[in-house]
Amino acid sequence: MPVDRLDRRLSVAPMMDWTDRHCRYFLRQFSPTALLYTEMVVARALVHGDRHRLLAFSAAEQPLALQLGGSDPRELAMAARLGEDFGYLEINLNVGCPSDRVQGGQFGACLMDHPALVADCVAAIRQAVSLPVTVKTRIGIDDREDEQFLEAFVRPVAEAGCATFIIHARKAILSGLTPKQNREIPPLNHERACWLKARFPGLEVILNGGLVGAGDIRPFRSRLDGFMIGRAAYHDPWVLSALHRELIDPDFAAPECDDIVARMAEYAGSRLAEGVPLRAITRHMLGMMNGRPGARAWRRLLSESAAQPGADGKLLQQALRAVEAASY
């Protein structure tokens, strides 16, 4: 197994329809080293589709991991090799998504019921690439959420070469709940991730699920290897800066709003020249001013005005001036 030097103390979860390349570039402004993940990319679509559209990213997004969805070892190996060629630093296998569409493709959380197949997938990916191969999973599915079920899944997958497990500390209900409800209704059990680390001390265990700020993380810092933040970082990206200071560098100074806006305006100019609409970028920035005077004007300009013909990066500066004017 290749030496894995990736720092996973702080990471941002893969989130469908959210963590695209524009979102990741924006979030990178708030933490220089947090490990960022792509949206889940279906291995079959990557192998047979537009790989540049699916995999392209800006160098500033690094460190960056590719999450794949699939259950065919050969397809996953081919997709992982493409990810390595594009410059990703980790291949992550999705064994946590509970959506009907994903289950219909025979991957996601339903794979917890097939640990031997997941082990085969991990082994195939490891043979294809020199990158670390990780698995993001739940603590259980449906009525199977005891420690024995989790151990029976983790053990063969670890033996196949997966040294890092990202544990979403809720079970997945495979029928009857929407993906959103599966993030809210099954109760959190952070202690189960701690149990897994104690049971397999040689594994790297990263906690995900229900983490909002430093207060949620501190009780587990000495017991786990890292923490993955999801929607909390998307809705309030300053959370990333606070957690970078908490987990990585106590002297870290959060960036200034005008610096972020200047960099994002420059980035928008580059992407607009490639045909990307401004709204595709600004939709990820709506939460940047939450809780501040002028937040409503910021959101309105970045959502409504960004969709107007001819809108460009100058709109970001205009929105920032609206926020500053509301502060006086």
For residues 264 and 244, is the Cβ–Cβ distance under 8 A?
Answer: no
The half-sphere exposure of 238 on its side-chain side, counting CA atoms within 13 A, is 12
Containing 280, the helix (H) or strand (E) segment is helix 278-282
The C-alpha atoms of residue 209 and residue 142 are separated, in whole angstroms, by 17
The C-alpha atoms of residue 98 and residue 93 are separated, in whole angstroms, by 14
Phi, psi for 66 (deg, rounded to 5): -105, 125
Which has the closest alpha carbon to 285: 271, 273, 270, 268? 268
Q: What is the DSSP letter of 230?
A: -
Which has the closest alpha carbon to 209: 229, 233, 191, 239? 229
Q: Are strands 164-168 and 64-69 parallel, antiparallel or unpaired?
A: unpaired
Helix, strand, or coil (residue 297): helix
149 phi-psi bin (left φ>0, alpha ψ -120 to 50, beta other): alpha
For residues 161 and 123, is the Cβ–Cβ distance under 8 A?
Answer: yes
Q: Which of 23, 97, 121, 162 is catalytic?
A: 97
Q: Which residues pair with 228 in a beta bridge?
A: 11, 208
Ranges assigned E (strand) in the chain: 10-12, 35-42, 64-69, 90-95, 133-138, 164-168, 204-208, 226-229
Q: Is 257 a catalytic residue?
A: no
Active site (catalytic) residues: 97
